[in-house]
Structure formats: C-alpha cells, structure tokens
Amino acid sequence: MKELMINVATDFGRTLGARYIYEGKFSGELFLNNLLLPKFKLAIETGRVLQIYLDGVFGYPSSFVSGSFGKLSQDYTSAVVLQHINLISDDTLRIEKIIREVTQPNKKDPIK
C-alpha cells in the first residue's frame, strides 16, 4: 500500500499565507480544503496515518496553522487528529506549534 503523505513545500507551497482564502494565496483554508482534509479523511477511512512533511517552507504563520490544523481539530477532535497524522520535521518547535494548535485550537472564528 502506497504511503499516505503530504509534503507541504512541494505539494502546496514554500511561502505559506494567512488563515482564509480571501486573504491571499497559500492560505490555511486552501491547504485544509485541497490537501489536508481529503487525505485526512482517507487516512480515517483506511485506518492509516497521514505522514506530513513540514520542512522546506519559510515558516508557519499562526493564522495558517489555525486555519488548517486548528480547524481540522475543531471538526474532528484533537484525539482523532493526533491518531491519524504524523508530523515530520527537523525543527521540533515547528511540530510543537502545530500540536499545540491541534490540542488547544482557537475557538474564536471571526466573521469573514
């Protein structure tokens, strides 16, 4: 069975944007809708773990992380998200930032 994975830099982009699509290119919402959510659903359906390679980008803006990983954990719970994703990076702070957002997502969702 082929590995279920996302390489953020090559599959999405090296310069990540804001939270919402209307705020510009490479938003967390776009990443969630086009890559993360479809592959995450497949991981759940097949009982697999989605490998997410985080390196190769110029940083992870908090709004991007909130709009993608935070929104995913609000919709599926942090327990389910952490059961079906594996974050891979040489930068442990990057992993910790995303895990913190998954386990303590910002409950505020400003009016668009």
Q: Count structural domains, the chain.
A: 1
Element (H, E) at 75: helix 71-76
Instruction: Tell me how far CA of residue 42 lies from CA of 20, 68, 77, in angstroms.
Output: 24, 17, 16
Alpha-carbon gap, residue 73 to 17, rounded angstroms: 19
Q: By C-alpha distance, which of 68, 9, 78, 74 is closest to 39?
A: 68
* Cβ-based burial of 22 (10 A; exposed 0-12, middle 13-18, buried ≥19): exposed
Query: For residue 107, what pLDDT is reported?
Result: 55
State the pTM of this model. Answer: 0.91
| pLDDT, position 3 | 82
The residue ranges of the chain whose pLDDT is under 70 are 1, 106-112
46 lies in which domain range? 12-103
